[in-house]
Amino acid sequence: MDQLFALSVVVPLLVAAALVGVKPLLSGRRRVLDAVAVLTAASVTVMLLVIMARTDGGDAVYWFAGFRPVRGIAIGIDFAAGPLSAGLAALAALLVTASMIFSWRYFQQVATFYHVLMLTFLAGMTGFCLTGDIFDLFVWFELMGVSAYALTAYRPEERGPIQGALNFAITNSVGAYISLSGIALIYGRTGALNMAQIGAYISRHPPDRLVVVAFLLIIAGLLVKSAIVPFHFWLADAHAVAPTPVCVLFSGVMVELGLYGIARVYWSMFGTALGHRAAISHVFLALGVLTAVVGALFCFRERHIKRLLAFSTISHAGMFLAGIGLLTPLGLAGAAVYVAGHAMVKGVLFLCTGIVLHRLGSVNETLLHGRARHLRITGVLFTLAGLGLADLPPFGTFLGKGWIEDTGESHGMMWLTPVFILCTILAGGAVLRVAGGVFYGLGDPPAEEQRMARGANEETSETDADRQRTPLTMLIPPTVLVAVAIAIGLTPLGPAVEAAAVRFQDQAAYNATVLHGAHVAHPVSPFPVEAAGITVPGVVRGLVSAVGALLLAYLALYRRRLPVLRRGYQPRVGLSALAEGFQSGVINDSVTWLVFGLACLGGVLALIIR
Amino acid sequence: MKPAHRRWLFLAGAAGLAAFYLWGLSGLPGFGNYPGPYGPAILRIAVAQTHATGVVSAVNFEYRGFDTVGEEFILFTAAVGMAIVLRTLRRERERSPVDEAKDRDAPPTSEAVRTVALLFTGPVVVVGWWLASHAQTNPSGGFQGGVVLATAFILIYLAGEFLTFRGFSPAHITDAVEAIGAGGFAAIGLAAVCLGLPYLYNFLPLGETPGAVSSSGTIALISFFVGLEVAAAFILIISEMLEQTLLIRSGGD
Amino acid sequence: MQIFPFIVVVWIVGAGLYGIVTSRDLIHQIICLIVVQSSTYVLLLGVGYVTGAVAPYFNDVPVHTPAVDPVVQALALTDVVVEAAVTALLLAIAIQAHKRFGTLDPHDLAEFKG
């Protein structure tokens, strides 16, 4: 079983290398290429699910090249994973498999190395989730990054992909290099790169300035990857231009990996050392709520469907961060389940958008009004996913969000629930507005200024053949993902997920397992364990969000004549003018906000932990 | 955002971040006082355990070999990514290099550059090879040797011989070499797995004298594969850029 | 002397970031990104230095002579390769930008807002 750890990362890498090596032989055989890629991704999914099941009783640790720690000093690199880590990696692999099946017919002619890049992307994500060494984390982060930058620039003949890929690459690279500085800093103090060893060392002394600075620097790159405000400016541009199957991965799992990294760095290394848990919790909560609100507001005013979905991802990333930032096991468990449900639902939304693009050649909501009525199955799937995004029970999203709200309320933050519901209504309402307008022709035909009209012709070169029927390979992945999303909500996995969260948060147990091979039967979390299950208030809140979203969509579709709604959409007035003052889509602006945001966060942390 | 606003916002943020960073750096033990256990622990056991006298290479290819796998594949992915970004698009044609030469009015390469470049090509290959095969003894290794090897090919282009450069490094051969290099490294680790050992365990005989060319087991072998991959990757990177700039034109003109 | 190398690190990061933020040329921005990365090399190597110690190569010196930290040198080596890879990819995208749109100014390339 242990060897599965190594295999889950090495197999996609080896297959990627092999595909490049035999490229001349594969030049006419597109189906072989597709089949190999799908099989590899599927086998990695299975491997990771096995690891997730086997680590239920205790974290599993795998030392590469056989170098076990000597007297508590780690000499080699390890993979240390529990159910949460392995589960996230399995989610990533599942989404890659779905994307590869979707790409089967979506790209009539695919660039030679598309499959290779998807496989290296998968390997990077898997390594990132499973590793227990902070520098190894950085290496897999960069592998994920390089694959993602190349995939975003997939259609270099248009201006959008070029600008999106550059913004993405430069902003994320600056973040990654700042993280590396933090790693060097903490290495200078502790002389270790193993997360457990670093955590053990720095928790022996009260936190001093080096630990605080190292913490912020290390999570800087992760914050950029998670698209937390004000580090989020790259995401909408990258999503608008990357090919649709790739967007599924970006929104479904890449952003969430950044948040996982923050949780992992905090709980395995800095948690005990930094102390001040209440204050740190407030900082994360503030960031999360700010991101959630900003994302939701921008989501609602978008007309470009992929950008709309991207802003909704930003909003949900904020909610995930808030869940993690509450620092309780129920919050972490809620965030985990919410991530899983959201990944499924967002994947379906993007895949359906891809089908619309394939059949109708546009992603502009205004231009598409009423034109997709004949895409019946796609319409049903899109609407279901939209309801799932609005947290309708029994989708997995309502379960996860309910737990986060429960734990917020039991810690005295009664304002968290209304804010979450509002953000969900805005994001869900936007998606349902798209569903109603595009697939069912509801509402007044839009007559407003078509600000996003120029974006309409962006993606016609992705696919170009048979547009009469939607192929089966493009309909099966979204159907399966919707089914999984509903299944997550219905399965009674509360206690198991919460137990996994408790183990994730027990730094002492993690240290003992990794450095001394001890098996800790009953991990302890610094916060009390609350019950996790399907509760009546949770169901009620889910229904409220869903109904609210439907109402908002109805209002948006039928009341466009209302001046207040119309004015909000015009380019130079209101919210739009404010937004353009802050950011004009240039790389320079993104990096400026990155630096400014980090400086503010640094100041806050320095004041708290002194 | 207007450039003036941006500059002020950045300077404010940078001042704050710099102060914060310096505040943290002042907590370090000071230049020259490295305290930590990782370095001395490795130095104590490396030569005896791996029979390599170059401890940095031992760390790179043995103790932290898995990081190096990831890093090598980052380079691999970048070369592959460049092939996608710089590919011939459907509206374009790749013209033959001989056609292009007639249209360009670039000045011919000077005799001095040609002579020196061609003179150095051979020795550079030898140096690159030497570097790539001595990872376990001196501050060289697969990465350094691979880059120097790639430079030998690029010297041919610099001498004005673009056609020869293309002839020496056709795309499918370079791709294959790169794949063998990257895959070979990953496969060596996998071979250990097949023997029931942890991934990348050093299972080859370690040799008698530490520091001899044939010592240190898998380190030397891994370094060889890495050299292949790095050389091929850099040749690919340069040749793709050159093709896109010099050869690929739009339409049928 | 104790903290001087680290002041240099902060200066390099600042200079690189200033270059990225005020640049009007993509190639210039990419080179400034390299400058930002270079600061991490200085930091890594500075952190691992031991006064009066030799390089960790034991061909000519006896095996247990005090040597500087070999791990940071290996990490710096890894970083150089990562940086080369990212830079190569960015330059490829810049080549396409120049070829298709005739401009290397990031302001002209920005099409979407925010």
* Domain regions of chain C by residue span: 4-50+57-109
Token code pair at residue B10: 């950045």
Query: What is the model's pLDDT at position A455?
Result: 45
Region B240-248: what's the mean pLDDT?
Answer: 83
Token code pair at residue A380: 């049903």
| Residue A317: band (very low, low, confident or very high) from pLDDT cuts 50, 70, 90 | very high
Query: What is the model's pLDDT at position B160?
Result: 77
Query: Which has more confidence, A329 or B106?
Result: A329
Token code pair at residue A155: 């259609």
- All residues of chain A having their beta carbon less than 8 Å from the beta carbon of residue C79 are 180
Residue A496 clears pLDDT 90, i.e. is over it: no
**Residue from the list B30, B78, B245 with its beta carbon closest to the beta carbon of C3:** B30
Kindly determine whether residue C88 and residue B79, on different chains, have CB atoms separated by under 8 Å: yes
For the residues of A307-358, what is the DSSP string, one character each? HHHHHHHHHHHHHHHHHHHT-SHHHHHHHHHHHHHHHHHHHHHHHHHHHHHH
For residue C25, the cross-strand partners are: none
| Residue C103: band (very low, low, confident or very high) from pLDDT cuts 50, 70, 90 | confident
Token code pair at residue A482: 């919707």
**Out of A167-171, A436-440, A481-485, least confident range:** A436-440
Region A325-346: what's the mean pLDDT?
Answer: 92
Query: What is the model's pLDDT at position A578?
Result: 61
Region A166-193: what's the mean pLDDT?
Answer: 94
Query: What is the model's pLDDT at position B4?
Result: 85
Residue B134 clears pLDDT 90, i.e. is over it: no
Rounded to whole angstroms, the Cα distance separating A352 from A474 reads 9
Query: What is the model's pLDDT at position A360?
Result: 84
- All residues of chain C having their beta carbon less than 8 Å from the beta carbon of residue A454 are 111
Residue A193 clears pLDDT 90, i.e. is over it: yes
| Residue A442: band (very low, low, confident or very high) from pLDDT cuts 50, 70, 90 | confident
Query: Which has more confidence, A506 or A125?
Result: A125
- Give per-residue pLDDT as tens, A583-601: 667 888 899 999 999 999 9
Residue A576 clears pLDDT 80, i.e. is over it: no
Query: What is the model's pLDDT at position A521?
Result: 75
Token code pair at residue B82: 């460049």
The torsion region of residue B209 among left (phi > 0), alpha (psi -120 to 50) and beta comes to beta
- DSSP H or E run through A199: helix A195-202
List chain B domain ranges: 36-250
Kindly determine whether residue A149 and residue C44, on different chains, have CB atoms separated by under 8 Å: no
For the residues of A517-576, what is the DSSP string, one character each? ----SS---SS-----S--HHHHHHHHHHHHHHHHHHHHHHH-TT-HHHHHHHSTTSHHH
Phi, psi values for residue B53, rounded to 5°: -85, -15
Report the neighbours of A using a cutoff of 3 or more CB pairs below 8 angstroms. Answer: B, C
Query: What is the model's pLDDT at position A449?
Result: 46
- Give per-residue pLDDT as tens, B70-102: 999 999 999 999 988 988 776 777 777 665 666
Query: What is the model's pLDDT at position B253?
Result: 41
Region A295-310: what's the mean pLDDT?
Answer: 89
Largest CA distance in chain A: 73
Kindly determine whether residue A162 and residue C33, on different chains, have CB atoms separated by under 8 Å: no
Kindly determine whether residue B74 and residue A146, on different chains, have CB atoms separated by under 8 Å: yes
- Angle among Cα B137, B138, B141 to the nearest 5 degrees reads 95
* Per-chain mean pLDDT for chain A: 86
Query: Which has more confidence, B50 or C111?
Result: B50
Rounded to whole angstroms, the Cα distance separating A267 from A420 reads 25
Residue A520 clears pLDDT 80, i.e. is over it: no
Kindly determine whether residue C112 and residue A586, on different chains, have CB atoms separated by under 8 Å: no
- Give per-residue pLDDT as tens, A217-265: 999 999 999 999 889 989 988 888 899 999 999 999 999 999 999 999 9
For residue C67, the cross-strand partners are: C54
* CA of C11 vs chain B CAs: smallest distance (Å): 8
Region A302-322: what's the mean pLDDT?
Answer: 92
Report the neighbours of C using a cutoff of 3 or more CB pairs below 8 angstroms. Answer: A, B
Kindly determine whether residue B65 and residue A65, on different chains, have CB atoms separated by under 8 Å: yes
Burial class (CB in 10 A: 0-12, 13-18, 19+), B7: middle
Query: What is the model's pLDDT at position A47?
Result: 94
Query: What is the model's pLDDT at position B142?
Result: 86
Domain C4-50+57-109 fold: Helix Hairpins (1.10.287)
Region B177-181: what's the mean pLDDT?
Answer: 92
| Residue A461: band (very low, low, confident or very high) from pLDDT cuts 50, 70, 90 | very low
Query: Is C27 part of the contact surface with chain B (CB cutoff 8 Å)?
Result: no
Rounded to whole angstroms, the Cα distance separating A103 from A474 reads 8
Its pTM stands at: 0.94
Q: Which residue of A has its CA nearest to B19?
A: A599
Residue A25 clears pLDDT 90, i.e. is over it: no
B76 in Cβ contact with B68 (< 8 Å): no
* CA of A399 vs chain B CAs: smallest distance (Å): 37
Kindly determine whether residue C89 and residue A146, on different chains, have CB atoms separated by under 8 Å: yes
Residue A310 clears pLDDT 70, i.e. is over it: yes
> Mutation test of the interface with chain A: which of B45, B59, B77, choosing the one with the most A Cβ atoms within 10 A?
B77
Q: Which residue of C has its CA nearest to A184?
A: C44
Kindly determine whether residue A14 and residue B186, on different chains, have CB atoms separated by under 8 Å: yes
- All residues of chain A having their beta carbon less than 8 Å from the beta carbon of residue C20 are 170, 174, 587-588, 591
Rounded to whole angstroms, the Cα distance separating A604 from A609 reads 9
* SS3 (DSSP) at A12: helix
Partner B, chain C 49-108, Cβ-Cβ below 8 Å = 49-51, 55-59, 63-64, 67-74, 77-78, 80-82, 84-86, 88-89, 91-93, 95-96, 99
- All residues of chain B having their beta carbon less than 8 Å from the beta carbon of residue A143 are 70, 73-74, 77
| Residue A374: band (very low, low, confident or very high) from pLDDT cuts 50, 70, 90 | confident
- Angle among Cα B184, A9, A477 to the nearest 5 degrees reads 125
Rounded to whole angstroms, the Cα distance separating B252 from B244 reads 16
- Give per-residue pLDDT as tens, A265-277: 999 999 888 888 8
Query: What is the model's pLDDT at position A22?
Result: 87
